[in-house]
Structure 1
Amino acid sequence: MGLYHSVRAVAGATGDGPIDWNAVAEAAKESTEPGDLTLSDAETEGFTTDVRDARDRVREVGELDFDLPATVEIQNRHHWIDANVATFERVMAPIEQQAEYIPGVARVVNTGSMAFALSFLGNNVLGQYDPLLLADNDDHALYFVRPNIQRVAGQLGVEGDRFRRWIAFHEVTHAAEFGAAPWLSEHMEETMEETIEKLSSGELDRDSLGELDTTMTAVEGYAELLMDRAFDDEYDDLRRKVDERRKGRGPVAQLVRRFLGLGMKRQQYERGKAFFDEVADMRGVAAAGRVWDSPETLPTDDEIETPRMWVERVLD
């Protein structure tokens, strides 16, 4: 386990495509400690209870008909990396299929960049709802990266069980969105495929990128609305401490976050939350959930900035 072995895995990248995914997985894991996954019976029951309670509360508050995904896993960091290597490989397959001859140096650079990104994320992701986009089946998954949850709770000085419950509620809100809107995964897949197809031919489809960003803003914003209304404890202190931890990171970590687009994700949270807070204040949480009726009821970018426009178009 170490940097030398990680570099060696990247340097040995092979194959015909722009990225050697086996080398990505090996390099990312070689540079990432897996973390402890020894759970007591009480901790296992705690995860189960938190997820079940989150499902029940979100159903009640959002008036949504959904269930938990087929797969709910408590993972170490290596498990998370493996799952997400598979996701990235699926998503990027159309581009790879269009690629012609790839010089070995380019393959090594691409492989190293992806391994670095997944190693960074694997050390920082707390939980993930994975809609398994472009997979051959309709199963979704819910992951909790237990070593990261424990480490961050200790760094923030917050009680571990409470922090775990907060993470569980947040991820289950995403399960609610995709469960209540069976069309959402397909809609996102089609938009991604359009974007990737244009990229593979050297074009930048700003319309598809804009549509994907607007959809993700709705996804993140609605999750924040449900968290505010469904979580059974005050969590302003948790949010504040997490934000302070993010801002307090060193320049290298900040650069990596920008490289990975994590600052944009935070912007999606904030824009989406402001939209849904205003809609819920005007018409209630259940009315805000009408956004998941169909692709046509998703807010436009202009409507996110002016929620009353969406209310008048969809609810009136």
Structure 2
Amino acid sequence: MIDWDLAVALGSRLAGEGPVVSRAEAEEAVAELRAGAHRSTGLVREFTGLDAPEGTAPILVVDRPGWVQANAEGFAVATRPMIEKLVASKQPKGLGLKVGAKVTGAEVGGLLGFLAGKVLGQFDPFHEPHGRLLLVAPNIVHVERELEVDPHDFRLWVCLHEETHRVQFTAVPWMREHLFSEIRAISDTVEPASFLEGGLERITEAIKAGRNGASIVEMFSTPEQREVIDRVTGMMSLLEGHADVVMDDVGPTVIPSVAQIRKKFTKRRQGVGTLDRILRRLLGLEAKMAQYRDGAHFVRSVVDKVGMEEFNAVWAGPENLPSKAELSDPDGWVRRVLG
């Protein structure tokens, strides 16, 4: 139902190659990012108390096409339960299926191509057996030049954030399977016969109601799916906010210019132009920016109140994750979980 080869080819072409660098500069950046990620493991462990087993979840430094390929593979895994359900129901059929695969492949490729020039790094939880960390070297070099910050400081700062995600998923083994179970829960709510019709109808209703600022995900989701999305939002906000707290609180001890980097980077997160802002809103990236903010506020509030050791109860099991509502009510989470 999705032509993944087309998606990768189109996404790689749209992504471009990134900034012009010499071979020596490229090799230096790749080596420094690998070293920064490995160095960050101990820094994250010392600050958070989370201990990730050795030899899990490899660290890969990639270019933009490499990021596109990796995420196409991840999307294929994430969408498999829903696609299997649609295929089993024979929706769509025959030629419609072939045409649909090309259309959706082109759409996914366009999405990946847009994002490939913006993502600095990410943890890919879908790669077997334990996930993998991706650092996108050309984007990191591009942003450090754009912000005019110290490249060595900026690279370590990015590594601190992304390595925190690798530690989260490998030190908390149930996290990965919990994410998969939530994805399956969304697919379980899909009714194949009315999936496309219902999605288009919800988009029309959203526009009529003046909610044209909603993301594509919000427009296509049903009330049942939004319940799951809210749970995932709580979890992802925790993970992103936790990583932001680590990078900013550990940063001053090892990154001299961290305050300058944070100030410039926060401004950059707001988007650089009208088209960029529209795309960010449609793709739900504005919501992701809120995840950093809300998640960091939650983590800081709880840690300030009870300390890091007590805060780490959040990693004990899925039932201890904050709900979307608790992100803005840290005291409520403390009462529910810590009594």
Give the equivalent residue in structure 1 for 2:113: 119
Report Cα offsets for 1:94-124 as digits up to 9, x if no partner: 2222142253654443222211110011111
Alignment partner of 1:87 out of 65, 74, 81: 74
Structure 2 counterpart of 1:278: 301
Percent identity of paired positions between Structure 1 and Structure 2: 29
Asked whether 1:56 is paired with 2:42, we answer yes
Shift in CA distance, 145/299, structure 1 to aligned 2, threshold 3 Å: same
CA contact (8 A) 2:82 2:187 kept: yes
Q: So what's the TM-score if we normalise by structure 2? A: 0.80
SS in structure 1 at match of 2:190: helix
Q: Is the 8 A contact 2:34 2:61 kept in 1?
A: no
Give, in whole Å, the separation in 2 of the partners of 1:157 and 1:309. 41
- Aligned residue number for residue 62 of structure 2: 75
Residue identity opposite 1:287 in structure 2: E
Aligned pairs, number? 296
Deviations 1:259-283 (A, max 9, x none): 2211011111111111111111111
> Residue type of the partner of 1:252?
L
What whole-Å deviation, never above 9, does each CA across 1:33-85 have from its counterpart, x for those lacking one? 23469456654542233112211111111111114643211111111110001
Deviation at 1:182, TM superposition (A): 0.4
Whether 2:236 is the aligned partner of 1:216: answer yes
Whole-Å separation in 2 of the counterparts to 1:243 and 1:262: 14
Name the residue aligned to 2:246: 226
Q: Is the 8 A contact 1:95 1:200 kept in 2?
A: no
Describe how 1:83-232 pairs up with structure 2 within 5 A.
Answer: 83-97=70-84, 98-99=86-87, 100-101=91-92, 103=96, 106-132=100-126, 137-201=128-192, 202=195, 204=222, 205=224, 206-231=226-251, 232=254
Q: Secondary structure at 1:143's aligned position in 2?
A: strand
Could you say what secondary structure the match of 1:199 adopts?
coil
Per the alignment, residue 335 of structure 2 pairs with 312
Q: Decide whether aligned partners of structure 1 residues 87 and 285 sit closer, same or farther in structure 2, where only a CA change above 3 A counts.
A: same
Matched position secondary structure for 1:221: helix
CA distance in 2, matches of 1:24, 1:42: 31
Deviations 1:129-178 (A, max 9, x none): 1111xx5x322111111111111111111121111111100001111211
3-state SS in 2 of match to 1:74: strand
The structure-2 alpha-carbon separation of the partners of 1:86 and 1:200, relative to structure 1 and needing over 3 Å to count, comes to farther
1:280 alignment partner AA: V
The structural deviation recorded for 1:20 is: 1.1
Contact 1:67 1:175 in 2 (8 A): no
Which whole-Å deviations, capped at 9, do the CAs of 1:178-214 have from their partners, x for residues lacking one?
A: 1221001111110111102213544822321221111
1:22 aligns with 2:13: no
SS of the aligned residue for 2:189 comes to helix
> When the two structures are superposed, what TM-score results if normalisation uses the length of structure 1?
0.86
Structure 1 vs Structure 2 CA RMSD: 2.2
Deviation, structure 1 residue 256: 1.4
Contact 2:14 2:114 in 1 (8 A): no
Residue identity opposite 1:139 in structure 2? H
Q: 1:221 to 1:32 in 2, by over 3 A?
A: closer
Residues 37 and 218 of structure 1: CA distance in aligned 2, closer, same or farther (over 3 Å): farther
- Name the aligned partner's letter for residue 262 of structure 2: R
The range that moved more, 228-237 or 210-219, is 228-237
